[in-house]
Structure 1
């Protein structure tokens, strides 16, 4: 259950980045808007990235029965997305998020398909996000509501809902902190309520502690003229749908990536990103789409592996800076 909480929190707080575009100077301080915008770089206006994972062994179970040891010979993932802002008013904003993933992997023996060991899957999500901005106890408060759908290259599959409420507790030049709560409307979720916590502290030596629990814990530092180096741990997930025996199943995997990230401002609102390190997968399950992830039929236990990720983003609505 703790692992699932970690996977869902980033999606619950995803829309908060948008407030940096929706407020006027007299409603939310500029330093607060900049802080929240910088916490959610995955919501850049347009982005694409590619991930390659090194070969690694894994064990698995099907319906509680151990399967023979297997090997992931290759794993690649391509992601692309867009975040479009429809209406921006003084106290509210409406936007949409469009995301696509293509995954391909090659195992030594069949796992998810009987006919062959080559698997490739398409997964997409589309969301409408509504943000409302106010004050609570004389502090900045942000309320969001999101409705989303996802699916494969064959069908739309699941409809989800989400609401969040958060408040900025502190916003000084050196330290900023935000707390809140998120509520999920999702039949596959194990937990309906999740906490939100974000913290940033700038040290005198130029280092920045960047915490978004439980999504990431990073130490950042600006380097060169237009770059930024980050060390730490980030969490991601991989999902796709499987069609077998006239039934629909969902594969959901949680990934913990620990290593180094370098971002560079390429000019003209373009940002290039390079990431590498060690990947651990604490949870990988297949379950009936109509059931919860706790009622899984297949699970896998992967060895640690190395990953490399390269990406580029374009931010026509924002400033040309590295995030």
Structure 2
């Protein structure tokens, strides 16, 4: 989110309005996610490994520090924490010599991101550069992974009801499926209906409507990725590994603003798994040791967030 919406963004909207529009820009958030059981089929290379059911629960928090600004530059930090509870059951092993057993694990992941952005001009047209450096750890070992992403964003249209910008996002991240992704940010408010169309690729597309002075409903699809680290000592995994998922939430949400800057969010729908892979140290998205086909499942979520200081 720091690359898609850098602090020096030229969109003509106040910080509070942007935080209402884009939840990832809020100062602080804590949310609780609960998922139903999902069927999975795992492979080791091209060989069937195991199948069964998996259920995940998450408690996620993030804190975005206020930005330090000078001469078109901006520097800030983001701190993320995710507690993940994973349950495996009804396991059917395909390789007798390598058995996966029913289990329940509870893991924590900490993520620190430093965000730098700069506003400049090229051929008399504004352009925004952003660089984000991230370190991820499980809180027990040292940093388990370092990621880097950079982007540029070209604002193309800016009116009272419409903003439009495009750009490119470059990912230096072993868990990323592709190294470069297009950025498309389009916002339009339809005066006749009050509907807001929010296209925020590569993260999501949403339709939003204010239904009361401090209340909104929205429907849409939003993509997120998650990492959980493990230290395994068994016949098929020996050492540090990470389980990475890319998930797409399709559903509806209700948000209510109270106490001036505190937002309550309740949402639910269907969660699809675009990717689920287990990496050993040194492996990347294309050569992961284990690939799992996880079927989608229902989810519910509740959260509290602070818009701005």
What TM-score, normalized to structure 1?
0.84
Distance in 1 (CA, whole Å) between partners of 2:11 and 2:88 is 52
Distance in 1 (CA, whole Å) between partners of 2:260 and 2:20 is 19
* Residue 294 (structure 2) aligns with: 302
How many Å apart are 1:62 and its aligned residue?
A: 2.8
Q: Tell me which of 49, 55, 78 is aligned to 2:59.
A: 78
How many Å apart are 1:212 and its aligned residue?
A: 1.1
C-alpha change, 1:302 and 1:187, in structure 2 (3 Å) is closer
2:8 is paired with a residue of what secondary structure?
helix
C-alpha change, 1:311 and 1:34, in structure 2 (3 Å) is closer
Q: Tell me which of 80, 89, 101 is aligned to 1:108.
A: 89
* Residue 7 (structure 1) aligns with: none
1:19 is paired with a residue of what secondary structure?
coil
> 5 Å matches for 1:134-149?
134-149=120-135
Distance in 2 (CA, whole Å) between partners of 1:71 and 1:279 is 15
Runs of 4+ more than 6 Å apart: 32-36, 110-113
Q: Is 1:210 the equivalent of 2:198?
A: yes
Distance in 2 (CA, whole Å) between partners of 1:216 and 1:179 is 15
1:294 is paired with a residue of what secondary structure?
helix
Distance in 1 (CA, whole Å) between partners of 2:85 and 2:27 is 26
C-alpha change, 1:186 and 1:214, in structure 2 (3 Å) is closer
How many Å apart are 1:159 and its aligned residue?
A: 1.4
Aligned residues: 298
Distance in 1 (CA, whole Å) between partners of 2:204 and 2:19 is 16
How many Å apart are 1:86 and its aligned residue?
A: 4.8
Distance in 1 (CA, whole Å) between partners of 2:15 and 2:103 is 48
> 5 Å matches for 1:97-246?
97-109=78-90, 117-155=103-141, 156-203=143-190, 204-245=192-233, 246=238
1:134-184 deviation line (CA, Å, top 9, x unaligned)? 233444321111211001132211112222111110011222101111222
Structure 2 unaligned runs (5+)? none
Which moves more between the two structures, 235-244 or 188-197?
A: 188-197
Q: Please tell me whether the aligned partners of residues 286 and 293 of structure 1 are also in contact (alpha carbons under 8 angstroms).
A: no
Q: Please tell me whether the aligned partners of residues 8 and 72 of structure 2 are also in contact (alpha carbons under 8 angstroms).
A: no
Q: Tell me which of 8, 32, 39 is aligned to 1:57.
A: 39
Distance in 2 (CA, whole Å) between partners of 1:312 and 1:33 is 18
How many Å apart are 1:207 and its aligned residue?
A: 0.9
- Of Structure 1 and Structure 2, the greater helix share is in 1
Q: Please tell me whether the aligned partners of residues 260 and 276 of structure 1 are also in contact (alpha carbons under 8 angstroms).
A: yes
* Residue 276 (structure 1) aligns with: 268
1:81-138 deviation line (CA, Å, top 9, x unaligned)? 1111251224111100100101002121569996751112111110111111123344
* Residue 45 (structure 1) aligns with: 27
- Of Structure 1 and Structure 2, the greater strand share is in 2
Distance in 1 (CA, whole Å) between partners of 2:126 and 2:253 is 31
RMSD, aligned α-carbons: 2.5
1:67 is paired with a residue of what secondary structure?
strand
* Residue 291 (structure 1) aligns with: 283
Q: Please tell me whether the aligned partners of residues 17 and 43 of structure 1 are also in contact (alpha carbons under 8 angstroms).
A: no
Q: Is 1:19 the equivalent of 2:5?
A: no
